[in-house]
Amino acid sequence: MSYGGLSLHRQREFACVFAVKSRKTTVFIVKPVLFCSFFKGAFCAAINQHYFFILLNMAKKKNTTTIKEIDEQIRLLRKSKTNSARKTKKAAGEKNQTKKDAGSPLRIIPLGGVDGIGKNMTVFEYDDDIIIIDCGLAFPEDSMPGVDLVIPDTTYLEENAGKIRGLFLTHGHEDHIGAVPYLLKKLNVPVYGTRLTLGILEGKLSEHDLLSTAQLIEKKAGDVVKAGIFSVEFIRVTHSIPDSCAFCIETPVGRVIVTGDFKIDLTPARGESINLGRLAELGNSGVRLLMCDSTNVERPGYTPSERVIYPSFDRFFAVKDKRIVIATFSSNVHRIQQIINASAKHGRKVAVTGRSMLNILSAAVRLGYIDIPEGILIDMNEMKRYSPGELTLITTGSQGEPMSALHRMAFGEHAQVTVGHEDIVVLSSSPIPGNEKMISCIVNELLKRGTEVINDSTAEVHVSGHACMEELKIMHALTRPQCFVPLHGEYRHLKKHADLAKQMGMEPRKIIIPQTGKVIELTKRTIKARGEVPSGAIMVDGYSVGDVGVTILRDRRHLAEDGILIVVTAIDRYTGNIVTGPDISTKGFVYAKESEALLDELAKLAQRSIERCLHRGVTDFETMQTRVRDELNSVIYQRTKRRPMIVPIFMDFSL
Ligand SMILES: [Zn+2]
Ligand SMILES: [Zn+2]
């Protein structure tokens, strides 16, 4: 500690009093004596047990300040700021000239996860090395009738197959691992993930007959994997599924942190909390880029801990004469643990229904992620041996899915379970946007049956697995990134998250809102969007992957909205005569029995159209189909204001 050129501690044993003068202040330093007197603008302060400082402001103070003086101060301040900014810019420019960006940029390519919740997949490429983070699926939108799943387009990876060093999975949710089987069918790359993530993945791979060939490499939080030029560290985070991780990727242009899905839960239902210490440590030693979950960025405050819902469970499970039917996401192992705990406490046996629920439960039990007391689980068939107050039934269908067990129960179609006034149905989840109507439909049916229904708007029976605004700020504050790319959300979420980064002081030019397939180039000094790769959504329908495209979807929507009209005619192309028909049949267009007159008229119209063609020597089926379709189309529209799909079919009966 020094002041005015004197080291105080070193002077302790010498003179009794020093007087140190600066331009406006005089400091007296004296040996410890009781010294406490005030005089003419002086004040005393005790610094430690040895010394007292007396600071005398010797400057002559004026009692009044004029506006002119303030104005002058502002001018001087502004001038000094401009000068220092110029100097900094000049220095930076010189630095840039001497030290240009060495080497290639890191190319970051989102193949999904940035245009809605689902199909998360991000590619990191540096020269001859590629790593992939996550490979998830999305569920089809309303505009995709008949489609089962949507997966990311991986053409770019197939074109660069030789460069891929590994696929790294953050956690075991469908939107992060659901498309792995489809990727591995094309590219058998090593897959790194934690125990539960790989445990859930194994179930999927065996359904696709890939388990024996897949290279699954188990890692735990804290492990570091070298993958080509990259090294990837697994960092523990908390989320609605155990064993979730963030990744710290060391690259030649600096450190990149990908948070994966997370919330800051300091009291998770089971297991350890998010490793904030490690994130802060990385922040202290420099993070070039943060890529962060944006799901709940619009929600202020903090997401409550998973543990806050236990008291609600405790209250409902204590009701003596009612059976608890509880629906939740099958992957929410922590939630299932809490349901088991509450059931055990109140002497309830637990039955489980729903294929995905049973699959994940078996993986969680096998791998030790859930504690179930012996004898508490019972088969569905055994339920009739117990009274309602002794039973809990865990089911899927919290999103109102039409094929789910809860849906069938609500509509009285479940083979083993009938719900009624002896049940409390708990929806331990919140609706995924778009599912509200289906859930509402189930709630109405349950209420009609006299069932009590509890959901997250009536009691604390659900908490989100994603970080709210204040938690996201903590993530930014701990990692202190130089650049930022928001992930996992619709555009509005990503934009809001970008605004949050700006609010926290990041320059707008260091933030990029990602788009599917658009390449982000990161160097040691810059970040910019440059170029794009093939990308999009591949639709999976049954066994077929990718053959359902825009045309098929358009036809499906057309059929769904307007129905179909089929015109079958047998002709003899050789003689130019109609042999039989045209016969008209329809589906989804008009009720045939009540529209016989219209259908007869259409048949005659088709006949005249075909005869005209044949008369003019037009016998190729394609031309005839177009003529018939056009003529029928306009008449049908005039009569009905509808446009069914018209399919003329010709059969050639010429010998
Ligand atoms: Zn997710
Ligand atoms: Zn997730």
Residue pair 163/129 in contact (Cβ under 8 Å)? The answer is yes
Residue 4 pLDDT: 37
**Confidence class of residue 85 from pLDDT cuts 50, 70 and 90?**
low
Residue 312 pLDDT: 93
Q: Which two tokens stand for residue 547?
A: 């053959």
* Among the ranges given (5-9, 183-187, 413-417, 551-555), the one the predictor scored with the smallest mean pLDDT: 5-9
CA of 566 to the centre of ligand 1 (A): 45
Pick the CATH number of 106-301+465-536 from 3.40.50.150, 3.30.70.360, 3.40.50.720, 3.60.15.10: 3.60.15.10
Residue 588 pLDDT: 85
Among 288-302, 349-363, 547-561, the range of highest mean pLDDT: 288-302
Task: Give burial (CB, 10 Å; 0-12/13-18/19+) of 89.
Answer: exposed
Between 435 and 159, name the one with better pLDDT: 159
Residue 480 pLDDT: 97
Q: What superfamily in CATH does domain 309-454 come from? A: Metallo-hydrolase/oxidoreductase (3.40.50.10710)
Distance (Å, whole) CA 436 – CA 430:
9
CA of 260 to the centre of ligand 1 (A): 7
Give the other-Cβ count within 10 Å of 373's Cβ. 11
Mean pLDDT of the region 529-537: 91
Residue 584 pLDDT: 85
CA of 261 to the centre of ligand 1 (A): 5
Q: Which ligand is nearest to the CA of 120?
A: 1
Every domain of the chain and the residues it spans:
2-57, 106-301+465-536, 309-454, 549-652
Q: Which ligand is nearest to the CA of 293?
A: 1
Among 17-21, 34-38, 330-334, 650-654, the range of highest mean pLDDT: 330-334
CA of 120 to the centre of ligand 1 (A): 7
The residues, ordered by sequence, that sit 6+ positions from 375 with a Cβ below 8 Å of its Cβ are none
CA of 154 to the centre of ligand 2 (A): 21
Mean pLDDT of the region 440-461: 93
In one-letter notation, the amino acid at residue 72 is E
Residues 181-228 pLDDT 10s: 999 999 999 999 999 999 999 989 998 999 999 999 999 999 999 999
Q: Which two tokens stand for residue 403?
A: 């094929």
CA of 571 to the centre of ligand 1 (A): 58
Task: Give burial (CB, 10 Å; 0-12/13-18/19+) of 112.
Answer: buried
Residue pair 334/269 in contact (Cβ under 8 Å)? The answer is yes
Residue 573 pLDDT: 75
Give which of 344, 410, 405, 345 is closest to 380, Cα–Cα: 405
| Residue carrying the six token digits 């929507």 | 557
CA of 15 to the centre of ligand 2 (A): 69
Handedness of CA 35, 38, 39, 43 (dihedral sign): positive
Give which of 279, 275, 276 is closest to 287, Cα–Cα: 279
476 as an active site residue: the answer is: no
Mean pLDDT of the region 343-355: 93
The single residue of 175, 293, 423, 541 carrying the catalytic annotation is: 293
Residue 81 pLDDT: 60
Q: Angle, to 10 degrees, between the axis of helix 469-479 and the axis of helix 276-284?
A: 40
Among 6-15, 135-144, 186-195, 611-620, the range of highest mean pLDDT: 186-195
**Confidence class of residue 519 from pLDDT cuts 50, 70 and 90?**
very high
Long-range contact set of residues 626-631: C-beta below 8 Å, sequence gap at least 24:
628/567, 628/582, 631/605, 631/606
Q: Which ligand is nearest to the CA of 138?
A: 1
* Among the ranges given (35-49, 109-123, 439-453, 556-570), the one the predictor scored with the smallest mean pLDDT: 35-49
**Confidence class of residue 82 from pLDDT cuts 50, 70 and 90?**
low
CA of 526 to the centre of ligand 1 (A): 28
The single residue of 466, 476, 493, 497 carrying the catalytic annotation is: 466
Mean pLDDT of the region 457-473: 95
Residue 48 pLDDT: 41
Residue 84 pLDDT: 58
Which residues are near ligand 1, the ion (C-beta closer than 5 Å)? 175, 261
Residue 286 pLDDT: 96
Architecture of domain 549-652: Roll (3.10)
Residues 618-641 pLDDT 10s: 778 888 888 888 888 888 888 888
Residues 165-183 pLDDT 10s: 999 999 999 999 999 999 9
* Among the ranges given (8-22, 56-70, 147-161), the one the predictor scored with the smallest mean pLDDT: 8-22
Q: Which ligand is nearest to the CA of 239?
A: 2
466 as an active site residue: the answer is: yes
Residue 31 pLDDT: 42
CA of 585 to the centre of ligand 1 (A): 47
Q: Which ligand is nearest to the CA of 329?
A: 2
CA of 176 to the centre of ligand 2 (A): 7
| Residue carrying the six token digits 């989804």 | 588
Q: Which ligand is nearest to the CA of 240?
A: 2
Residue 139 pLDDT > 70: yes
* pLDDT over 90 percentage in the chain: 54
Residue 101 pLDDT: 52
* pLDDT over 70 percentage in the chain: 84
Residue 117 pLDDT: 79
CA of 570 to the centre of ligand 1 (A): 56
CA of 301 to the centre of ligand 1 (A): 20
Average per-residue pLDDT for the chain: 84
Q: Which two tokens stand for residue 200?
A: 């859930």
Residue 587 pLDDT > 60: yes
Between 77 and 289, name the one with better pLDDT: 289
Q: Which ligand is nearest to the CA of 241?
A: 2
Distance (Å, whole) CA 188 – CA 200:
18
Residue 132 pLDDT > 60: yes
Mean pLDDT of the region 77-87: 61
Among 74-83, 118-127, 139-148, the range of highest mean pLDDT: 118-127
CA of 465 to the centre of ligand 2 (A): 7
Tell me the residue ranges of DSSP E strands in 237-304.
Answer: 245-251, 254-258, 287-293
